A and B are shown apart, each in its own frame.
Chain A
Amino acid sequence: DTGVSQDPRHKITKRGQNVTFRCDPISEHNRLYWYRQTLGQGPEFLTYFQNEAQLEKSRLLSDRFSAERPKGSFSTLEIQRTEQGDSAMYLCASSLYATSSADTQYFGPGTRLTVL
C-alpha cells in the first residue's frame, strides 16, 4: 500500500499521560499536515511541514502539543499531559507541493485518541 499510514490507529490513555502518534506520508511528498477532528465536526488544521521545516501552526496547537518531521520523511505528533478535551481523531495528510499546483492532500486513516 503506498498511501499515508498512521500508527497507532487507536490509543486509550489516562488523563495526564503523554502520547505520541506517527505518520508516514506518501513517498516523495514534501508536505505533511496534521488535523484534528472531533465528533460531528470537520477536520481542523493543526500544523504543517514542508520537508523538515514546520511552517505554520494553528492556535489550536497549545504548548502541550509538539510535532516533528526529522529528515523530512515521517512525522510525530506528541501530546503531553493529556486532557479529556484532547479526545479526538488525529489525521495526517501529505501532498506534493509545486507552484501552480492544486496541492491535493492525501489523508491517512487517522489515530483515534480517547483520554479517560
Chain B
Amino acid sequence: DAKTTQPNSMESNEEEPVHLPCNHSTISGTDYIHWYRQLPSQGPEYVIHGLTSNVNNRMASLAIAEDRKSSTLILHRATLRDAAVYYCILRPYSGAGSYQLTFGKGTKLSVIP
C-alpha cells in the first residue's frame, strides 16, 4: 500500500483556519486521497476525499497538489469540536480491490480556546 506521512501533532487557535498537510510521494494514478478523523472515544468519521481536483464540503476543503504527491486538509474555522486525530489515507479506486482503509498514526490536532 502507498504510504502517507503526516506530522504527529498540530495546534490551532479557535476560530482560525487550520492546514493539515499530508505527503504521499508514492501515490499511484488510481489512488484516491481520503481523510478521516477520530474524536476522543469515538470511531473514525469520514471527512472528505478527492482524486485530482480540489474538493469542498460542509466539513472541510481538500487541496491536492498538481503532481498529487501531497495534499492539505483545510478546516476554515477551527472549533473545539474539531480537536481530533486526522488521518490521511490513500485508497485505490474501488474497482481495483484492496477495500480496507489503511490508517497510519495521523495528526493529533489540538484547538486552543
Contact = CB atoms under 8 A, between A and B. Distances in A.
Nearest to A41: B105
Chain B interface SS verdict (over half): loop
Given A42-B104, A48-B100, 20 more contacts: A31-B99, A41-B105, A42-B85, A42-B87, A42-B103, A43-B101, A48-B99, A56-B100, A93-B44, A93-B101, A98-B94, A99-B94, A101-B94, A102-B94, A103-B99, A104-B46, A107-B43, A107-B45, A108-B43, A110-B42
Contacts of B32: 102
A100 B44 contact: no
Interface in B25-41: 32, 34
B43 A44 contact: no
A44 B45 contact: no
Nearest to B101: A105
A67 interface: no
B49 interface: yes
A43 B87 CA distance: 10
B102 interface: yes
A65 interface: no
B95 A109 contact: no
Contact of A105 (B46, B93, B102): B46
Contacts, number: 64
A79 interface: no
26 contacts: A33-B101, A41-B105, A42-B105, A42-B106, A43-B103, A45-B102, A48-B99, A91-B44, A93-B44, A97-B99, A98-B94, A99-B95, A100-B94, A101-B94, A102-B94, A103-B91, A104-B46, A104-B49, A105-B44, A105-B46, A107-B43, A108-B43, A109-B42, A109-B43, A110-B42, A110-B43
Interface in B16-62: 32, 34, 42-46, 49
Contacts of A31: 99
